[in-house]
Every structure is written in structure tokens, then in C-alpha cells.
Amino acid sequence: MNQSILITGATSGIGRALAYEMARKGYSLALTARRKHLLDEIAEDIKAQHKVGAVVSRELDVTDDAAVFRVVAEMADSLGGLDIVFANAGVGLGEKVGCGEFDKARQTVAVNMIGAMATVDAAVAYFLKHGGGHIVGASSVAAYRGLPRSSAYSASKAGFAVYLEAVRAACYRKNIHVTLLYPGFIDTPLNSMLPNRPFLISVEKGAAIIARLIEKRVRSARVPAYPWAFVAPLLKILPTSLISRM
């Protein structure tokens, strides 16, 4: 019996690439994003390219809490059940602190942390009623250290990571698995404007790695493991003088 996965932020970057990767593996797909016309095009293209059980799509802004809970329930019904929910939708607006751009910081936290938390909460509610499931959340290596021009992004990803750790504890022995991912620089529109993207990998490679980690039900992982398994912890101890130049 094929499994099903719900992916938020499925029209771009990791979400889009993972949708194609999981379709290639035979998963049924529930895809959400804000840009409905792109979402529908991707859903139709996936159905044309791959023999999947089903592909359903819904427009969704994850900052609309009520809509998140409604859409998760609707898509589960449409697919006859959900096995995996991937809280992936995110933004990176690169605001400068103290320069009148706090609206960007607020939007970043609203999407990356509050919206992701709402997605996970809705998934837990569904899985508790249906005997279990698998929650996957996208944090970032930026969660390890606040970086210039990424202050709200780093904070939102760190907050979401801690939230997922709490969810894992809250769901202990309830047959709900939690996977926490820390992607490094994966070639997506989210970071394409940055002048420096160390250890960059293609979005297709990133999606393939993430798909394998999901199927292994790992607790947490950096993406890719090398060199971020060494570099990410190092960020915590670098002097601020070096961080300020990044």
C-alpha cells in the first residue's frame, strides 16, 4: 500500500523538488502553497510524469491558522488518509535590524515559526485520531547562530526546532514520529540572492537526501550531513567579530 505525504510550500525550492522526488517513489501527494496557479500546474505535471496513487492540491497561507487545520483535514479525507506531514513553507526576507524593516521580521516569524507550528499542531491532531503518523519539519543550519541580515530567519528556525523537540516529547509513545531537518545551502529562490552560499548543493540533490531521511524516520539530521555536521556546531563558538562579517 502506497503512503501519502502532505507538503507545505510546494511551489518552490525544497517543497517543489521533494514533491517530484516523492512522486517518483510512488507516494500519493497532498500539496499546498499560496500561489494556486503554480500549484495546479505542478500537480498536473507530476501526474503526467509519474504513476502516483493520487495528487491533490489546495491553496494555503500557513499564517491563517483556521485554514491550516481545515486544509489538513480536507486533504487527508481526499487521499483517504495521511502518513507524513512535512512543514516546509518558509520565507527569508533579509531585513536589517533598526532600519525600519520590522514588518519583514514579523512576516518571517509568522510564516517560518507560527505557520509551521500550526501545520504541526494540525498534523498531531489528525495523527492522534488515526493511530499515528510522521511529522517532518524544516529548520535550518541558520538556527545554530544568529547571522547578520538573517536575524528573524535564524530566530524563527531556532524557535521551530525547539518546538519540534517539545512535540517529540509530548507525543512520546503515541506512535507519532518527529523528524527535524537542518538544511544547509540548497540552491533555491530563498537564498539565490545571497553573495556567498558555502557548500551549496542542487535542490534535486537536497530533495533526494531529504526523501531518504524521511523514509529512515531519522530524529534529526543536517542536509547534507557533510560538511554541516562539523560546520553547524562550529557556528556556535565562532567569535562575534567573525560572525559580523558573514
Q: Would the CA dihedral through 142, 143, 144, 149 be positive or negative?
A: positive
Q: CA nearest 92: which of 79, 80, 77, 109?
A: 109
Write down the catalytic residue from 27, 144, 153, 163: 153
Indicate if 172 belongs to the active site. Answer: no
Other Cβ atoms closer than 10 A to 78? 17
Neighbours of 85 (CB within 10 A): 27
Return the ∠ at Cα 49 (arms to 44 and 53), rounded to 5°: 75
- 3-state DSSP helix/strand/coil percent for the chain, to nearest 5? 50, 15, 35
The answer to whether 116 touches 7, Cβ cutoff 8 Å, is: no
Please list the active-site residues: 153
